[in-house]
Amino acid sequence: MAQTDATPFIDLRNITKRYAGVTALDGVDFEVSAGEAVCLAGENGSGKSTLIKIISGVEKPTEGTINIDGYDIPQNSPRIAAARGVMVIFQDFSLFPNLPVYENIAYPTQMNARRRFFDRAAARTLAGDVLARIGVEIDLNERVENLPVAQKQLVAICRALASNAQLIIMDEPTTALTEKEVQRLLGIIRRLKDDGVAVIFVSHKLAEVLEVSEKVVVLRNGQKVAEGPATNFDTKSLTLHMTGRDVPEAKPAAVVQGAPTLMSVNSLGKSGVFSDISFELKAGEILGVTGLLGSGRTSLAKALFGLVRADEGAVSVDGQQIPLGDPIAASQARIGYVPEDRLTEGLFLTQSIMRNVAIGRLDEHARGSFLDMKGLYAEASDWIARLKVKAPDIQAPVQSLSGGNQQRVALARWLSRAPRVLILNGPSVGVDVGSKADIHDIIRELAGEGIGVIVISDDLPELLSTCNRILVMREGRVTDEIDGAAATEADLAHRLAS
């Protein structure tokens, strides 16, 4: 299916990559032509990052051939790929926060020219030219650490262009951008395509970049499972190809009429972070809170559980006011909080699954100064079974589990404490699409049992499939309140980011 009118810029044939017995890529063909934008989609572990590493020379394929710009490359390396114009923009942008914009843009160019001395004047000129080429104004002398995320991304694009990029590979390019910034990025991408620069988007949220793309390639378990013009795909069909099964779009059950108010929050505020947050949560209700990075959603979640001390306002559960900034009081009031970053904030990674669940119930199983280990472990294993944690052995360390199962362990710990209100921050971050649906089922079940659930997330389909109501935050304020049953993803995205 190679295009006949032009040789593709990148032409990979029959690429296979095995790591110590695991096949990450299995006979994948992949090509990109000059001036073409390609979406590369796939779940975690589908092999998309391996494919990118092979194109950029970081990894060598076990089998298969690489051809870049008409040249066969038997021994690809980062230097060779870069010399042919293949540039990767990682999700973290790989910039130097301590150095000024112009140096970030021009340093690699001078390095590749094997210069010994750094020519500041030339660096400034080059950086200015490249910024002008994509029509962006950024202060050349500003340190990159002081730039907003969207501008950092532009600096990273400029750096690639300064090094004469023919193909720019962008990893999760839209995750941290507002709608306006995404539009500007798409404008820049169109400009680059007109210049003959090819682009590969690597993402699991592709809806936004589909409109500037010509082609979509979907990987699953190391194999190419779908390829075709971008116009043939939409979010639903992408999910189908990525997971290999039709994940039904479930909707939350309606809140029972006349359900009692469980939690009420009155003009909660923390100066400079969020302000004037008020809402009520009913028993059995699932409330979504969304907003971009930096909108204050995570700080609000932490403030509800007392991990961040709010300056003003009140939080009460069942009419009982809870002291602000006191996580122990919050957990005694039977609020549970599952943090976004379970690896650093939520779990004891090297400890067993059992202990990770049991830790939340030590007080309940105290017999004098000693622990009733039997009762403790029996209860923990019961929860592990109820949440269907897939583990060979409940004594295995939590770090040996997949993301989805780790999240279940974190949930099990809180559920064993029979919470009234459960705050879930990013419940499916780093979880594959299949487990995600299971976690959503669990969330809906919990609400069915009368627990009030607050889901903090920027994953819009997740909010739509779980929440009865969604609060949208922007710059520390709740700017919209949307009925979950009536909302659409496009509407929500617009309110979130405009």
Partner 1 sequence: MNFLDRLPKDFWTRNETLVAAVIVAFCIVATISDPLFFTVTTVSDLLRASIVIGILAIGAMLVLVSGGIDVSFTAIAVFAMYAATKISLALWPEMPWPMIFIVAMLVGAGLGAINGIFIAFFKLPTLIVTLGTLSVFRGFLLTFVGSQRISALPPEMRDFSRGVLARGTTEAGNFYSIPWSVLALVGVIVLTWFILQKTMLGRSIYAIGGNPESARRIGINVPWTQFFIYVYVGALAGLAGIIHGSVGRMADPFSLVGLELSVIAAVVLGGARLVGGYGTITGTLLGVALIVIVQNSLIVVGIPTTWQSVTIGLLILLGTGVPAYRAKRAAARAG
Interface segment toward partner 1; rule CB under 8 A; list 22-30, 66-74, 210-218, 293-301? 293-301
103 vs 459 by CB, closer to partner 1 = 103
176 vs 493 by CB, closer to partner 1 = 176
57 vs 484 by CB, closer to partner 1 = 57
Smallest gap from residue 25 Cβ to partner 1 (A): 21
Smallest gap from residue 237 Cβ to partner 1 (A): 34
Alpha-carbon distance values, 374 to 46, 177, 348, 365, 380 (Å)? 41, 50, 21, 9, 10
71 vs 117 by CB, closer to partner 1 = 117
Asked if 435 interacts with partner 1 (CB under 8 A), we say no
**How would you classify the pairing of strands 335-338 and 320-322?**
unpaired
Query: What CA dihedral angle connects 99, 103, 109 and 115, to 10 degrees?
Result: -90
Smallest gap from residue 461 Cβ to partner 1 (A): 24
Asked if 79 interacts with partner 1 (CB under 8 A), we say yes
Phi, psi of 367 (to 5 degrees): -115, 95
Q: The tokens of 449 are what? A: 């049992």
C-alpha to C-alpha distance for 94 and 481, rounded to whole angstroms: 37
95 vs 447 by CB, closer to partner 1 = 95
Smallest gap from residue 258 Cβ to partner 1 (A): 38
Asked if 327 interacts with partner 1 (CB under 8 A), we say no
Taking the alpha carbons of 346, 348, 350, 352 in that order, is the dihedral positive or negative?
A: negative
Alpha-carbon distance values, 215 to 51, 123, 231 (Å)? 16, 36, 8
Asked if 299 interacts with partner 1 (CB under 8 A), we say yes
Alpha-carbon distance values, 196 to 34, 157, 160, 222, 355 (Å)? 5, 15, 14, 29, 56
Helices 120-133 + 101-112 axis angle, to 10: 110
Smallest gap from residue 476 Cβ to partner 1 (A): 9
Asked if 73 interacts with partner 1 (CB under 8 A), we say no
Residue type, 113: A
Interface segment toward partner 1; rule CB under 8 A; list 165-173, 181-189, 291-299, 458-466? 291-299
Contact 424, 453 (CB under 8 A): yes
Please identify which residue in 122, 226, 273, 371 interacts with partner 1, judged by CB under 8 A: 273
Q: What is the CA radius of gyration of the chain?
A: 25
DSSP assigned state of 352: B
Please identify which residue in 228, 294, 375, 450 interacts with partner 1, judged by CB under 8 A: 294
Asked if 19 interacts with partner 1 (CB under 8 A), we say no
User: In terms of Cα–Cα distance, which of 183, 141, 189 is closest to 169?
Assistant: 189
Count interface residues toward partner 1 (CB under 8 A): 29
208-224 b/e (C-beta count within 10 Å ≥ 16 → b):
bbbebbbbbbbbbebeb
Phi, psi of 44 (to 5 degrees): -60, 135
Smallest gap from residue 143 Cβ to partner 1 (A): 8
Asked if 348 interacts with partner 1 (CB under 8 A), we say no
Smallest gap from residue 422 Cβ to partner 1 (A): 21
Please identify which residue in 3, 14, 65, 94 interacts with partner 1, judged by CB under 8 A: 94
Alpha-carbon distance values, 318 to 260, 265, 322, 443 (Å)? 9, 11, 10, 21
167 vs 443 by CB, closer to partner 1 = 167
The H or E element containing residue 417 is none
Smallest gap from residue 406 Cβ to partner 1 (A): 23
Taking the alpha carbons of 481, 485, 486, 490 in that order, is the dihedral positive or negative?
A: positive
Asked if 290 interacts with partner 1 (CB under 8 A), we say no
Paired residues of 486 in beta bridges: none
Asked if 78 interacts with partner 1 (CB under 8 A), we say yes
Site string for partner 1, 95-134 (x = CB under 8 A): xxxxx---x---xx-xxx--xxxx----------------
Please identify which residue in 32, 34, 82, 451 interacts with partner 1, judged by CB under 8 A: 82
Smallest gap from residue 215 Cβ to partner 1 (A): 26
Smallest gap from residue 298 Cβ to partner 1 (A): 6
Interface segment toward partner 1; rule CB under 8 A; list 64-72, 92-100, 325-333, 488-496? 92-100
Interface segment toward partner 1; rule CB under 8 A; list 59-67, 89-97, 194-202, 323-331? 89-97
User: In terms of Cα–Cα distance, which of 43, 51, 40 is closest to 17?
Assistant: 51
Catalog residues that contact partner 1 under the rule CB under 8 A. 78-79, 82, 88, 90, 94-99, 103, 107-108, 110-112, 115-118, 141-142, 272-273, 294, 298-299, 308
